[in-house]
Structure 1
Amino acid sequence: MAIRRAKQKQQVIEKLTSVAPPGETFIACVHCETGPSPWLNGLFDEIPFLGLIVALTRRFYFITLTNTTVVVNSANRFTNRPGDVVCSFPRNAFPVQRVKRGRVWSSMYVQLPTGGKPTRLNVNRYWRDEFDSLMTVVPAAIPAQATPAAAPQTPAV
């Protein structure tokens, strides 16, 4: 079971190298999980049955940014080893709906082909540097927030 981030990234790259075209450069790799906010795990400890249900419904993924694509592959729930490729998107068409960058847990909503509505993916602070690298391809996918127009200033006489 890989615990260190470098070892997990190495395992993902080894897994994807077999299916990636020659010359593909791996830029960033982020581990994430689906489901409600991980902050709610403390509340679920009070109701063990509910906590078990939520834990079993979570899915784990690795999102890898390469020079041409963004690849999403599954991760094993217990060992964190990378699994099969779930989907792949061209780098300029990564379907992110929203991104919320938090201090400990960041989240983004990605439209995966397996679901009807966007899937919430939670990213831990441990993966912050890689998450920031991944987010370099997102601004084109997320409409810029409107900024209020500055009030016209009259010159002082």
Structure 2
Amino acid sequence: MAIRRAKQKQQVIEKLMSVAPPGETFIASVHCETGPSPWLNSLFDEVPFLGLIVALTRKFYFVTLTNTSVVINSANRFTNRPGDVVFSFPRNAFPVTRVKRATVWSSMHVQLPSSTKPTRLNIHRYWRNEFDQLLAVVPASVEGSPAAAIAPAPEAAQA
């Protein structure tokens, strides 16, 4: 079981190298989990059954940024080993609808083709540097993205 971030990223790259086209460069890889905020886990300590249900509904993914695309592959719940590629998007068309960068648990909502509404992906502070690299390619139109914060405001129409 890989615990260190560098080893997890190495495993993801090794897994993706088998399906990546020649010349693909891997820039950043971020581990994330679906579901409600992980802060809610502490609320379920008094009701363990409810906490177990929430824990079992979570899915774990690695989101990897390459020079041409953003690839999402599954991660094992217990060992964090990367699994098969689940989704792949062109780099300039990554369907992020909302980004919240927080102190410990950041989140982003991604419109996955398999769901009707955006899926919340929670990213721990441990992956902050890689998450920032990923956010650098998020379209400026996404509310809460760093690109939106530095984009120039539209000028008011002159009458």
TM-score w.r.t. length of structure 2: 0.90
- Residue 50 of structure 1 aligns to which amino acid in structure 2? L
Q: Quote the residue 1:154 is aligned against.
A: none
Q: Where does the alignment leave 5 or more consecutive residues of structure 2 unmatched?
A: none
Q: Quote the residue 1:47 is aligned against.
A: 47
Q: Quote the residue 1:134 is aligned against.
A: 134
Give secondary structure in 1 for the equivalent of 2:22: coil
CA distance in 2, matches of 1:140, 1:149: 17
Q: Quote the residue 1:113 is aligned against.
A: 113
Q: Quote the residue 1:81 is aligned against.
A: 81
Would you say the 8 A contact 2:92–2:139 is kept in 1?
no
Max Rg structure? 1
Q: Quote the residue 2:36 is aligned against.
A: 36
Would you say the 8 A contact 1:94–1:141 is kept in 2?
no
Correspondence 1:88-107 to 2 at 5 A: 88-107=88-107
Distance change >3 Å, CA 57–CA 24, structure 1 → 2: same
Give secondary structure in 2 for the equivalent of 1:137: coil
Q: Where does the alignment leave 5 or more consecutive residues of structure 1 unmatched?
A: 151-157
What is the aligned-residue RMSD (CA, Å)?
Answer: 1.8
1:147 Cα deviation after fit: 6.0
1:140 Cα deviation after fit: 3.4
CA distance in 2, matches of 1:30, 1:130: 6
Q: Deviations over 1:75-133 (max 9, x none)?
A: 00000000010110000000000000000000000011111110000000000000000
- Residue 54 of structure 1 aligns to which amino acid in structure 2? V
Give the share of equivalent positions with the same residue, in percent: 81
- Residue 130 of structure 2 aligns to which amino acid in structure 1? E
Distance change >3 Å, CA 141–CA 80, structure 1 → 2: farther
CA distance in 1, matches of 2:33, 2:49: 20
CA distance in 1, matches of 2:46, 2:155: 48
CA distance in 1, matches of 2:62, 2:30: 5
TM-score w.r.t. length of structure 1: 0.91
